[in-house]
Amino acid sequence: MIYLAMVFMSFVAAAASLFFKKASGSDGLLKMMTDINLYIGGFLYVFAALMNIYILRFLDYSVVMPLGAITYIWTMALSFLVLGETITKKKIFGVACIILGAVCVAFA
């Protein structure tokens, strides 16, 4: 169950970044400060951080932090589905290497 919470936490963190990306499209700092996407992203980021702290109560730091790399999978999927970004073979290979490395570190 705690590993499911870890996957959910990584999705929330990726969603937070997506909202930050949307807020970054505002014209100027003042407009960005009034963009609702900035505040949604901030809320989700804090929520993900609190979930991370909670998960650390049950799993080792050396497991939780590398497995946080799952966020890269969500980020790639959201960038494709929501932002229409192109996903290349190089990007997939890069994320696969990150995930493989994280799994090796976490479960070694």
Q: Which of 79, 77, 80, 71 is nearest to 99 (CA)?
A: 71
pLDDT at 69: 87
pLDDT at 62: 86
Rg from Cα positions in the chain = 15
Q: 4-61 pLDDT, tens per residue?
A: 999 999 999 999 999 999 999 888 888 999 999 999 999 999 999 999 999 999 999 9
Q: Which residues of 10-48 are buried (b: 16+ CB within 10 A; e: fewer)?
A: bbbbbbbbbbbbbbeeeeeeeeeeebebbebbeebbeeb
pLDDT at 28: 87
